[in-house]
Amino acid sequence: MPKDVAIIGVGQSAFVRGYEGSIRELSFEAYREAMQDAGITSSEVDASIVCSAPEYDKQRSPSGLIAEYLGLNPQPTFAIESVCSSSTTGIRTAYALIKSGLHDLVAVIGFQKMSEISSADSQERMGRGADIMWESPFGTTMPAYYAMHARSHFNTFGSTEKDLALIRVKAAKYGQLNDKAVYRKDLALDQVLNSDYVTTPLKRFDCCANADGSSCIILASAEKARELSAKTVWIMGLGSATASLSMTGRNSYDGLESVRLAARQAYEMASLTPGDIDVAEVHDCFTIAELMAYENLGFAEPGRGVELIRDGETYLEGRIPVNVDGGLLSKGHPIGATGGSQVRTIVLQLRGEAGEIQVPGAEIGLVHNVGGVGIYGNVIILGS
């Protein structure tokens, strides 16, 4: 795989339940960190991409507002939305802009201030990510959709609520070490198993929390990256696919076909296999989502993902460490910022800068970011 596009800077705000500032100030926190990390100034950025789910924002066209506040005018700015996968869709777009020769250095800024609206309104808006004629009017919610997938996985493969609880225990173990995570508490297996049901078989601790936060990733052409940075991380493979919005258009519910297809594309582009991945960040909005990711990404055969968590293989010292920053289950899930946060974690791993959660010798990392209930599936493979 030729090294054509690199990541030269990463940044993330703390993820919190109620950010007191504005969306422009929230975005600045991640942008400032990424620019300092890259060692560049705003005048060197020749395009920006702002990623968010707009139904949470009082400001119409926030991309223009944020570009102005960050000093990125008159360079062009673009708005990207694919719900929870918005910022990895933004990274894919930035990659294409750089590969085309239109731009040399692009900032991808993801943000969401979900506390702008109530939890009830947030759930209603998330439900509208499904078909608003035939599904969401009947009360479907994100927990209910993923509970349906959990039940299907249980029935098909024999996985259990305890297997899901083991994933949450792992997330809590590493979330304690992440100073940017919204939930930084250890959890025992019994605490997870005895928590209240949200929608069976998913319990309170099987679900991630809404959060406010921002992320920023700086991408550069190979020539520009070599000129500006001594700690580049290269984009080796990209995959993206879209599934039926309506659940009635799906062939099965024990996995996400968009992720399977996106993973296949990314591995092929990178000339790699699942066995080559040293560390992964997967979209664990619910514990069942992480379990399905093990299988959809090829880390385990269908139905055998439970063996990875039961045997500790997805822990830091295991065969394929997954979400050793605590994942969405601990960090929280500010929709537009989530994918960028995942990329930041992998970049730090590949640069050997991940501190207490560093995977020894990590050279190849994978990011799996999902929009909606697998409507959009993005997979990015990065190499040091």
Average pLDDT taken over every residue of the chain? 95
Binning pLDDT at 50, 70 and 90, where does residue 120 land? confident
- Amino acid code (one letter) for 74: P
Indicate whether 242 and 164 sit together in one domain.
yes
pLDDT higher than 70, residue 61? yes
Share of the chain above pLDDT 70, in %: 98
Among the listed residues 51, 84, 207, 208, the single catalytic one is 84
219 DSSP β-pair partners: 7, 106
Q: Which of 200, 233, 266 corresponds to the end of one domain?
A: 233
> Which one is predicted more confidently, 228 or 129?
228
Instruction: Tell whether 245 and 174 lie within a shared domain.
Output: yes
Q: What is the CATH number of the domain that holds 344?
A: 3.40.47.10
In a domain, 67, yes or no: yes
What does the pLDDT read at residue 34?
98
In a domain, 375, yes or no: yes
* 57 has pLDDT over 80: no
Domain boundary among the residues 233, 264, 295 is at 233
Which strand (E) or helix (H) includes residue 9?
strand 5-12
342 and 312 both lie in a single domain = yes
Q: Are residues 175 and 249 in the same domain?
A: yes
**pLDDT(121) > 80:** no
Tell me, yes or no, whether 206 and 252 share the same domain: yes
Which of the listed residues 233, 268, 298 is the one where a domain comes to its end? 233
Domain count, the chain: 2
Name residues whose C-beta falls within 8 Å of residue 108's C-beta, 6 or more positions apart in sequence: 48, 49, 51, 87, 90, 91, 93, 94, 216, 217, 218, 219, 340
Residue 176 lies in a domain: yes
For 268-302, what is each residue's pLDDT tens digit?
999 999 999 999 999 999 999 999 999 999 999 99
Tell me: do 279 and 146 sit in the same domain: yes
84 in catalytic set: yes
User: Does 58 score more than 80 pLDDT?
Assistant: no
At 219-269, the pLDDT tens digits run 999 999 999 998 999 999 999 999 998 888 888 899 999 999 999 999 999
DSSP structure class, residue 61: S
Residues 270 and 375 reside in one and the same domain: yes
**Which SS3 state, helix, strand or coil, does residue 150 take?**
helix
pLDDT tens for 330-360 read: 999 999 999 999 999 999 999 999 999 999 9
Q: Please confirm, yes or no, whether 51 is among the known catalytic residues.
A: no
* The pLDDT value given to residue 2: 64
In a domain, 295, yes or no: yes
Quote the CA–CA distance of 359 and 349 in Å, as a whole number.
Answer: 7
Strand duo 364-371 + 279-281: pairing: parallel
Active site residue: 103, 149, 283, 333, which one? Answer: 333
- pLDDT for 116 equals 81
In a domain, 19, yes or no: yes
Supply the DSSP string of 218-254, one letter for each residue. EEEEHHHHHHH-SS-EEEEEEEEEE--SSGGG-S-SS
The winner for highest mean pLDDT among 59-63, 119-123, 219-223 is: 219-223
Let me know if residue 126 belongs to a domain.
Answer: no
The pLDDT confidence band at residue 217, using thresholds 50, 70 and 90, is very high
Check whether residue 84 and residue 198 sit in a common domain.
no
Q: For residue 220, what are the domain limits? A: 5-118+211-233
Which pLDDT band holds residue 137 (cuts at 50, 70, 90)? confident
Paired tokens of 282: 């997967």
Distance CA 331, CA 16 (A): 9
